[in-house]
Amino acid sequence: MKKLIMLGMIVFAIALSSCTNKNKEDMTQIKYKTIQVEDCKIFYRETGDPQKPTLLLLHGFPSSSHMFRELMPELAADYHLVAPDFPGFGQTESPDREEFDYTFDHLAKIIDRFTEQMGLTQYAMYVFDYGAPIGYRLAMWHPERITAIISQNGNMYDEGLGKKWEARKQYWKRPTDELRQQFASAYALETIIGQYTYGTPEGTVGPDGYLLDYYYVCLPGRAEVQNDLILDYRTNVALYPEFQRYLHDHQPPLLAVWGENDPSFIPAGAEAFRRDVPNAEIHFVPSGHFALESHHTEIAALMRDFLSRVL
């Protein structure tokens, strides 16, 4: 009789362990979903337990939430991660330009509404490239919602702008049709490949990311969307003083982890965070603009250490 009881307990323990492991796997598996926000269907990736601290992951140009495909599993056991594609990017819809303003302010308002519909009342932000001025707007509008900021080559300082920005500043002052077409080279295949591979250790960046990005920018209507945003980027630079004032006034926990060889947003932009947030943590990895492609494990480790102390 005792042997039967013992056997039953062992079987129950095995079954319970199997169920627990299955639930854990289900909780950390990335799910691919859509949600209607105003007139736009937003695609997003989600993983982790919604009862745990939330990380909102905001992608860059010309990418999508696909850039977080390897980072999210690294953090899913401890955090709830949500990564939307912006309108005109990735799998999110691209409403007609005649009916939808492709400006950073409007994209930020859409993502703000997305967070509200998702019930994200408080969250840390991972911001990169285009995702930075979108995320910084959210922080200015709702400072009480922001628990921490991780900036990966997400600039808000003039000294963080690389040499290429001088030509763009001239374009912003005099935005002719001819210059608009010239700046379409920003999303040519060779340019996108360069964004991914410049400054990275040889052989560490696979082709999947940049070829997918190129596919997306070649979809009907996407090129003009990108042209609109290249011109509108001037509004982000104009807001730098307000972004900095937000940091100075609210002192959010801040981790800047930078691909040190990025020619677009150079290391001085990371170092400048300490001017407004003296306790900002600054780290560099030997990579380029898309540092997650080659150093997602190192960046995840820095994030886990940082977030475990501030959340």
- 61-119 confidence digits (pLDDT tens): 999 999 999 999 999 999 999 999 999 999 999 999 999 999 999 999 999 999 999 99
CATH of the domain at 104: 3.40.50.1820
Name the residue with tokens 């308002």. 109
Count of the separate structural domains present in the chain: 1
42 touches 113 (CB < 8 A): no
pTM for the model = 0.92
User: Using CB atoms within 10 A of its CB, is residue 164 exposed (0-12), middle (13-18) or buried (19+)?
Assistant: exposed
Q: Is residue 134 part of a domain?
A: yes
Please give the Cα distance from 2 to 11 (Å, whole number): 14
Residue 217's SS3 state is: helix
Instruction: Flag whether 275 is in a domain.
Output: yes
How does 245-262 read in b/e, with b if 16+ C-beta sit within 10 Å?
ebbeeeebbbbbbbbbbb
Distance of CA 272 to the CA centre of its chain: 20
Report yes or no on 4 lying in a domain. no
pLDDT of residue 269: 98
Looking at residue 28, its pLDDT comes to 86
Q: Is residue 2 part of a domain?
A: no
Helix (H) or strand (E) holding 135: helix 131-141
Q: Which domain holds residue 127?
A: 29-310
Q: What is the pLDDT of residue 66?
A: 98
Does a structural domain hold residue 61?
yes
Asked whether residue 68 is domain-assigned, the answer is: yes
Q: Which residues are part of the catalytic machinery? A: 289
Q: Closest Cα partner for 85 from 103, 53, 62?
A: 62
Residue the block writes with tokens 């295949």: 189
Asked if residue 14 belongs to a domain, the reply is no
Residues (pLDDT < 50) of the chain are 3-20
What is the C-alpha separation between 257 and 154, in angstroms, rounded?
9
Residue 146 in any domain: the answer is yes
Pinpoint the alpha helices (H) of 175-221: 177-182, 189-197, 208-217
Residue with tokens 């628990």: 147
Q: What pLDDT, in 10s, does the model give residues 152-183?
A: 999 999 999 999 899 999 999 999 999 999 99
Q: H or E stretch including 123?
A: strand 123-127
